[in-house]
Structure 1
Amino acid sequence: MPPLEPVDERLQQAMQRVLLATLPGMLALFWLYGWGVLINLVLAAVGTLAAEAAVLKLRKRSLKPSLSDGSALVSATLLALALPPYCPWWLTISAATSAMLFGKHLYGGVGKNPFNPAMLGFALVLVTFPQQMTHWPTSHGMDLMGGLQQVFSIGQLPDAWVQATALDSLRINKSLTMDELFATNPAFGQFGGRGVEWVNLAFLAGGAFLLQQRVFSWHAPVGMLASLFVISLLCWNGSGSDSHGSPLFHLLSGASMLGAFFIVTEPVSGAKTPGARLLFGVGVGLLTYLIRTWGGYPDGVAFAVLMMNLCVPALERLVASRQERTVS
């Protein structure tokens, strides 16, 4: 029988608060897209927990402490919220199992992963199945039966239920001004993506709750949002057809707030010291904008986080060396 291991109560409490903080954004996504969001959550949870249990069994480790600390469920939730609603069931399961296997247990489990597991799972399926990952539904969503029919490819699938996102429409736009895009393109709302701007505000509210609870410090979220704001302001050329979007557009579109408060704050793969966390967030914000504007994908949060995960040791050394020079 595998030896019993103590449950990390501090980790468990932090994960519970993170799950609670995702509720405003989750409800906003449900309001926007319907049952596909909850179907994603169930499938991702099944995939992550099953993969975690299988690996722990192979390693002859106790299941209860690792499964009950909540870290796998948090990864599943963040992954499900990032994936397109109503994507095929096998896509969600593939992303979830990849997140656990290649993002977590390949390096030894909780506390040892150099990459954010949810973003690694997301990036792997984005690169492998780009067509399925670009099928974002229209804002009205589907009922439960229609959603299950779409996810599991049962019966006749509905027509004309997908559309390009605001970030994708802006990236491929060559002729329309920003004013014309906001006036004519159904993917655009008042300031960002239609409905997505409210989703971002909901994740902002959840992030403010986590800051108030001191689950993480302000450095990484502020660094990311500030750098995203500054670079989009510097590169913004108004409403012309070659515009890359206003700072407010970038802050309220895509996964900006989800990334700022729930992804870059991941304690294991992120930086550990305050100064390095600030630089980590700044790097994620800059890379997100660069990928959105000139890269091959409309939203660059996942790739930005993974690239900055690689830079964490260098950031820590940079901050430490500057502190040593200041003291001396």
Structure 2
Amino acid sequence: MTPLEQPDERLQQAMKRVLLATLPGLLALFWLFGWGILINLLLACATALAVEAAVLRLRQWPLRPFLGDGSALVSATLLALALPPYCPWWLTVSAAACALLFGKHLYGGVGKNPFNPAMLGYALVLVSFPQQMTHWPASHGLDLLGGLQQIFGIALDSTAPDAWAQATALDSLRINKSLTIDELFAGNAAFGHFGGKGVEWVNLAFLAGGAFLLQQRVFSWHAPAGMLGSLFVISLLCWNGSGSDSHGSPFFHLLTGATMLGAFFIVTEPVSGPRCAKARLLFGVGVGLLTYLIRTWGGYPDGVAFAVLLMNLAVPALERLATPAPEPFLR
């Protein structure tokens, strides 16, 4: 086999561990939202593999080593975990196709992408189809038949068109003008003990998966610690208790939205992120700060995707900042 045809066994093993580490979060999402998350996962993975195979054929590259490296499946899985569980099938397919085409193969394939593919696909459909992307179900959503009907647009009976949908905790907090935090947590079904109802457990599940990846040394601690630490610090500094103008406590921001998914599965992506440890720490810090700013004052409730993409643009500058300048040559 030529070097191009030889699969990278280290990459394969890393991708397998990442897929394994997503299982706790996937199970927690399934428990919380029902079958929609699994249907999305199958759609995203099938689309990603089909697009990967088509592009490899066009480039006349061998299918087996590249399809088998697991990178397409990881991008599709992370994308499916971030999408609303009952979004239309075409949205999931569009997001997965954009992630592979514009986030990966446009730049030459695996190992060359400057942007995180999953977050690029997510951001593209978010700005293109904002209504569908903010349509989140209440906890314990539809059964398998109801999920298939909702996702594929099959006519539902007249008793349950959209009654299962509700605003998320981040949405509710962002648009809140009059209720205190205590009143929101007491009277709004989207809020749990510290963050979004049920989403707290989802974040803890992704934290457990991230701890497994750290133990396996799939990535270092720098980027996750930078993101979680900066998000905690800025939310603590800007937290003004339970007033109606409060932006939420540090624990709220850590246990709501896609925080732990972002910290351990998104900012740790090795290709689009920095190489050296100091730059990875600064990268994580930047993602955490931007996530809070977008959540609090931006137009989107959860800013992880945009924060990651913006910091992807800053990677060359971070690398230069983290690398000491060479000593001048003295004659």
Q: Which runs of 5+ in 2 are unaligned?
A: none
Separation in structure 2 between the aligned mates of residue 175 and residue 50 of structure 1, nearest angstrom? 49
- Match of 2:165? 162
Separation in structure 2 between the aligned mates of residue 60 and residue 185 of structure 1, nearest angstrom? 55
- Match of 1:273? 276
- Match of 2:218? 215
Q: Deviation string for 1:14-70 (max 9, x for gaps)? A: 000000000000000000000000001000001111111111110111111111000
Separation in structure 2 between the aligned mates of residue 230 and residue 279 of structure 1, nearest angstrom? 14
1:1-328 → structure 2 map (5 Å cutoff):
5-156=5-156, 158-159=160-161, 160-321=163-324, 324=326
Provide runs of 4+ in structure 1 moved above 6 Å: none
Separation in structure 1 between the aligned mates of residue 102 and residue 4 of structure 2, nearest angstrom? 25
TM-score if structure 2 supplies the norm length? 0.96
Amino acid at match of 2:303: G
Q: Deviation string for 1:100-128 (max 9, x for gaps)? A: 00000000000000000000000000000
Q: Deviation string for 1:205-264 (max 9, x for gaps)? A: 000000000000000000000000000000000000000000000000000000000000
Q: Which runs of 5+ in 1 are unaligned?
A: none
Amino acid at match of 2:131: Q
Q: Percent identity, please.
A: 81
The answer on whether the counterparts of 1:3 and 1:62 sit within 8 Å (CA) in structure 2 is no
The answer on whether the counterparts of 1:291 and 1:300 sit within 8 Å (CA) in structure 2 is yes
Partner secondary structure for residue 163 of structure 1? coil
Partner secondary structure for residue 55 of structure 1? helix
Separation in structure 2 between the aligned mates of residue 47 and residue 300 of structure 1, nearest angstrom? 25
In the superposition, relative to structure 1, how do residues 319 and 4 fare at CA in structure 2: closer, same or farther (>3 Å)? closer
RMSD: 1.4
Partner secondary structure for residue 321 of structure 1? coil
Separation in structure 2 between the aligned mates of residue 212 and residue 14 of structure 1, nearest angstrom? 12
Deviation at 1:321, TM superposition (A): 3.0
Deviation at 1:132, TM superposition (A): 0.2
Amino acid at match of 2:268: T
Amino acid at match of 1:12: Q
Separation in structure 2 between the aligned mates of residue 280 and residue 190 of structure 1, nearest angstrom? 30
Deviation at 1:3, TM superposition (A): 9.8
Separation in structure 1 between the aligned mates of residue 110 and residue 275 of structure 2, nearest angstrom? 16
Separation in structure 2 between the aligned mates of residue 90 and residue 301 of structure 1, nearest angstrom? 23
